[in-house]
Structure formats: structure tokens, C-alpha cells
Chain A
Amino acid sequence: MDFDFTDDQEQLRDAVRKWVDKGYDFERRRGIAKAGGFSREAYGQLAELGLAGLYIPEDDGGLGMGPVEGMVVMEELGRGIVLEPLAQALIAGAVLSSYAPADVKAAWLPKISGGEALVVLASQERAARYRLDVCEAKAAQAGANWALTATKSIVPAGDQADAFIVPAQVKGKIALFLVERTAAGVTTRGYSTQDGGRSAEVLLKDAPASLITLDGLAALEHATDIGIAATCAEAVGVMDKTVAITVEYMNTRKQFGVVISSFQALRHRMADMKMQLELARSMSYYASLKLNAPPAERRAAMARAKYQLGVSMRFIGQQAVQLHGGIGVTDEYIVSHYFKRLTQMEMSFGDTLHHLGEVSGRMQDTAGVFA
């Protein structure tokens, strides 16, 4: 039982933090958001740091690192509310490494590591909401070739990505496929999201696809859990910075002739925000440290973590705006952007009510971290 970071992990954190501080300030972010919400250049810089290949084995061109490193990186990106979806690279790297046949790995892993290819999960369907076992997309087989027909929504940077990881039905079971964006039968409609980022509606009509695995549900659950752990870590970074911004504001803003941090009602609100932040950080550690556990244990842990993170994100986001007063609801000031990011993350990979249901459904007679 040990929650210290190694020197290597601290160095990784410093490197990412330095890039965020120097290379991704608020003005650059605003520019990227205005220009559509995704910058290939910024994504390339993340890849240059090696981050896109974080979960890809060294033999395939990656760094071969684990969940704690993933957590450290995502926390730092969260601090700068970076729009480029690195979590998707973590998911794609891990899923292809674990489940894809050798030729698919050879074709894609080095390109993902190097940042030449952005591969994202395209799984969201209208009828499924947050359920992973609901999937209307269909895969048809003709000889060695597969063709997919599907409508996938809110696909991160979907009109900018190079390929999609797509769940689709094969004989009543979910399988996982890789589809290139430039393939025949693929159309995308990109748009900005509430947090300033970018997503797309992805339509597949008999689009050629490579099979990743026929055991698609297990792989999709794994992918989602990597996404949950990454989102939890990223959210901790966002909240950490949100709290810091609010603390600074409270210690500067004067009303009634004194700084507003002198008012006990506001001080206690901040104590409650600190509580939510540390509960969230604790559960983010928990999620990352359970990411390599057997599937049932892993799924239960992710549900617990995402539930806590959802509660914390909503509280901290809302209270940060409240404590800022009028300036908190402007576009000009930074805090509203943190709030919107937190709001969007609550609805990524399952919202708070969804995960409460998961926790409830999986409840055992025992209790605690080790149960």
C-alpha cells in the first residue's frame, strides 16, 4: 500500500505540465476552440512527448507504460483543459495492443504512437445511452472482408480522426472493428461541443472494416474502463485547477471593504470543495490502480470511481462559478470554461446516475476498498 509517485512518474508529470503551461495557454486554447475545437498541431506535440503511445508496447513504437503514468498525464492535461482527446489514444493503443490481430497492430500501433494516426472510439448510439451491450450497428462478412453499417454519435474529433474503433453486431454478438475515415461509405459531420472541443456524427454505409476481435463486448468494456480511468484523472486535474483559480479569486476580490475569503459562509463552501476534490482524487487513484484487475472487479471499481467523480465534478464546477459571482458566468473569464469541461466529462463514459445504478447492481455483502 503506497501512494507515492516514482521519480520517473514525477518527471513525466513535469514534462507534461511544462508543455501545458508554455505550449497550451488559455489564448491558444481559445483559438483552437474558435477554429473548430481540435488542433492537429497540438495533438502532434502531445505525440512528440510520447504520450500517444503511452499504453503501446515498446516493440510497437510506444512507451509501454501503465495506468499510473496514464493517470499522471491525464491529470496534467486536465489542468490545462486541453481539447485534444489524448484519452482516445490511450484507449486505441491499449485495445489494439490487447485484442487486434498482428497485421492490424503492425499497420496502426506505430502510427498511433508517432501521432500520424488519430484513432478514436466510435461507439455511442442513440438507443444505447450509456449501455455498452446495446448496439444496432451491423457487420456483414463477404469472404475475408467485412462491411459495416452504423450511425455513431458524439465521436471525439470524429471528422479529424484517421480511423475509428467501432462495435457492431455479428450474429447477435458484439464484435469490434477498425474503420478508416477515408474509406468508401464513411461520412462524418463534425461540430463543436459545449466544452469547446470537437465531435462528429459518423455514418457508415457498407464501409470496409478490419476485424479487431469477435469478443467485442469484453473489449468494449475494457476500452470504456480505460476511458473512465483517464476521465477520472483528467477531471482531478480540471478540478485541482478550478479550486486553485477560485482560491486566488477569493483572496483578491473585495466586497464590503474586505477580501471575500474572509466570509465564513464562503470559507466553508471552499472546505466542501476541497473535500470533494480529495474524495475525487482518492477515487481516481483507485480507478487507475484497479485498471488491470480482472474484468468483474475492474468494472465494479470504475463504476464506484466514476460515480464519485461525477458528484465531485458537478459540485466543484457549480460552486466555482457561484463563488466567482458575475464574472463566473462570462465567456471571457477562464472559470466558466473549466465548469463546462467538468459538465461534459460527467456525461462521458457514463454519467453519475448511470454509474450509481452500476454500483447498486453490483453490490456485494462485503464493504470497502479490498472487498
Chain B
Amino acid sequence: MDLAFTPEEQKFREDIRAWVGANLPADISHKVHNALRLTRDDMQRWAKILGKKGWLGHGWPKEFGGPGWNAVQKHLFEEECALAGAPRVVPFGPVMVAPVIMAFGSPEQQKRFLPGIASGEVWWSQGYSEPGSGSDLASVKCKAERRGNKYIVNGQKTWTTLGQYGEWIFCLVRTSTEGKPQTGISFLLIDMKSPGVTVRPIVLLDGEAEVNEVWFDNVEVPAENLIGEENKGWTYAKHLLSHERTNIADVNRAKRELERLKRIAKAEGVYEDARFRDEIAKLEVDVVALEMLVLRVLSAEKSGKNSLDIAGLLKIRGSEIQQRYSELMMLAAGPFSLPFIEEAMEAGWQGDFPGGLPGDAPLASTYFNLRKTTIYGGSNEVQRNIVSQFVLG
């Protein structure tokens, strides 16, 4: 047992840190460190920088052009990116659909889709949830009917994150209503420029349109865009959900944001208030405990051991911690988090922020926004079902 990373891992970390330091645009990291709004261009600029280096698909094996890093190296890479203030990589292409294409796609599909994902040129979206299918994802109704060498798609997807920028979307579609709901689902790649695709933004509680509804009205999709076999899509979807288990805890970002919370608490004059400070101290322990949990999972992966019983806990704890730090940031500013001045959440805003500090502007919005974390990716209640299944059978 050893808490320290090996000298090789340390060296790897230092190399990553140096590269990120030299290549992450300062205007982007400024926005991330201050929770200011990121544009499509910000996100894609960073994606393309990573893509050029071959690190956008940093979890990819070498045979598909990835760096072939192990679990610890991936973790260190993500940590260095997070601490430096890099935006989170939009996961739908490189983290979600790419592994499915690698595992179940044909060589032609791999050749056709992977390069655009690896370079960051093509923006992918996720078509999973539907109005009637949230936690119960296997109940999806969006229908794809085979006609000759085409599928005709009709239905609706929702909660499509950043779908307003999407060029391609991977969808779970119903191709059969026979048998169990899971057995009639297929995994289809759809060009969002196809006639009949409509994207409608949904304004969320923080005033931003981060997610969308996507409508399909007799959309023609070439049959060659089907991944694997018809009606086997649920298997592929589960593969996707099982990927990148430790990243979901987002502990690296939590470390960065805990440091930011301390800065905010100092600026707002509550850091020396024992009652407030103790709340930060609790979060400090929570973050260390979460990081230890993540390291345990990584160590198990490194030595090829099963850690499924604890991996299920990561999403629950990680999301709770995200909500807690955003809550404490807002409470640190107190009443001065209340003015809702959208311009003040843009970089470079020079106005007077009423009463408080300009940095107070996004605190409440971030708090509101992060309520999503215990809902998405399988709600925390669904996660507790999974954990209890492991423990109780």
C-alpha cells in the first residue's frame, strides 16, 4: 500500500501540467476559474487543441489513435486539466459514442466517424432521454422503421445537452415492440442536418439554454448508420454507461472548486466565522474521502481487480459534493448572490455589481444549474438502487 504516485506517474503528471500550462488559452481558463459563461467557440477551441495533440480521446486505446493511457494516467490527465481551469471536454463524442463505435461499429463506421471525433471537428449530441423515459430509459418510444436501405425515424428526444450546437446525434430508437422493452432498441447515428430534425432549446432555472428537445419527423437515416445489430442497442448503451466510471465523480473539479470556495469565503468575510468555516471544513473532509475512494477504484483497475461495489458510490458522492460547494459559495456571498445580472456572467464585464463583488454574479446561477447533477446520468435514487443491489442482492 502506498499513497504516493510512482516516480513515472509523477513525471507523467509534470509533463501534462507543462503542456496544459503552455496550451490552454488564458481567456478560457479565466472563465472556468470564475464560473463565467463559456461559448461554443471556447469549448471547441480547447477540444481542437487537445485533438491536435491526440488527447481529445485521451481514454482511447492506441489502435484507434488514442494515447493508450492506463486508468491512473487518465486520472492524472483529467486532474491537471481541471486544476488548470480547462473546460470539461464535451463528452458525447470522445467519451460516449466513440467507445461504442470502437467496440461495436464496423470498420467503415470507425473510419468514417472516429477521425472527426478525435480532432474535435464534429460536435456530437446524445439522444437518450425522452419525455416518457427518464430513469426508465429502456422504455424509449422514438421509432425507427426499416424501409429498404433506410430507417425512417419519428419521435422526440429531450434533455439533449448543448444539442443546439450538435452536428450528429447518437440515439436509442425503438425498432421492435416485441418481448422485453430492452430487446427492441437499436443504436442509430443521425446527421442533425437531415430534413425533419428540429432542435428547440429548453431554458433552465438559471436562465440558460443548456439542454434541448430534439424532434424527428420522418427523418431518413441510411441503414449503414446503425451500430451493430438491430435490437441490440441496449447492450451497446450499457457499455457506454459503464465507461469512464471514475470520471463521473468529478473529484478533480471538486478540488479546484473547494479552493475557489475558500477564496470566495475570504473575500466575503465569512472564512473566520466559525460556523461557516466548519461547513467548509466538512466539505474539505468530504473531498479528501471522495478522492481516496476514486484512488481506490483506480488502484483496483490498475491491478485488474473488481471494484464495482464502490464504483457505484462515486456518482452519488461526487454529485452531492458538487451541489454542496456551489451551495456554500452562494451562501458565502449571501444576499449579494441575489442580483440576476446576466451580463455580469460574461467575461470582461465592467459594470458595477450592486452591493457585492463582480465575482458574486454567477454564484446562485451555478448553484441552480448544478441541481441537475443528482438527476442526470441515472438519478441518485436509481444509483442507490444499484448500490443496494450489490449489498443486499
Contacts and interface: CB of A to CB of B under 8 A. Distances in A.
Interface string A273-315: 0110011001101101110000000000000100110000000
Contacts, number: 141
B331 to A, nearest CB: 16
A268 B387 CA distance: 8
B313 A274 contact: yes
A5 B1 contact: yes
Interface stretch (A123-131, A173-181, A357-365): A357-365
Interface string B293-336: 10110111011010001100100110000000000000000000
B246 to A, nearest CB: 13
A282 B392 contact: no
Contacts of B317: 275, 279
A67 to B, nearest CB: 9
Given A250-B392, A285-B292, A369-B292, A3 B387 contact: no
A283 B284 contact: no
Interface in B1-42: 1-6, 9
A307 to B, nearest CB: 5
Interface stretch (B151-159, B204-212, B274-282): B274-282
A117 interface: no
A271 B387 contact: yes
A267 interface: yes
Interface in B174-203: none
Nearest to B293: A282
Contacts of B267: none
Contacts of A289: 1-3
B385 A267 contact: yes
A113 interface: no
A258 to B, nearest CB: 13
B295 A3 contact: yes
Given A278-B310, A286-B3, A359 B391 contact: no
A12 B392 CA distance: 29
A36 B295 CA distance: 43
26 contacts: A1-B295, A1-B298, A3-B295, A261-B393, A268-B381, A268-B385, A268-B388, A270-B391, A274-B313, A278-B310, A278-B313, A279-B317, A282-B293, A285-B1, A285-B296, A286-B3, A307-B285, A308-B285, A359-B281, A363-B280, A363-B281, A363-B284, A365-B259, A367-B284, A368-B251, A368-B291
Interface of B: 1-6, 9, 72, 251, 254-256, 258-259, 262-263, 274, 277-278, 280-282, 284-285, 287-293, 295-296, 298-300, 302-303, 305, 309-310, 313, 316-317, 381, 383-385, 387-388, 390-393
Interface of A: 1-5, 68, 243, 247, 250-251, 261, 264, 267-268, 270-272, 274-275, 278-279, 282-283, 285-286, 288-290, 304, 307-308, 356-357, 359-360, 363, 365-369, 371
Given A279-B317, A367-B287, 16 more contacts: A1-B2, A1-B3, A1-B4, A4-B303, A247-B392, A267-B388, A271-B316, A274-B387, A275-B317, A279-B293, A283-B288, A357-B278, A360-B277, A367-B256, A368-B255, A369-B291
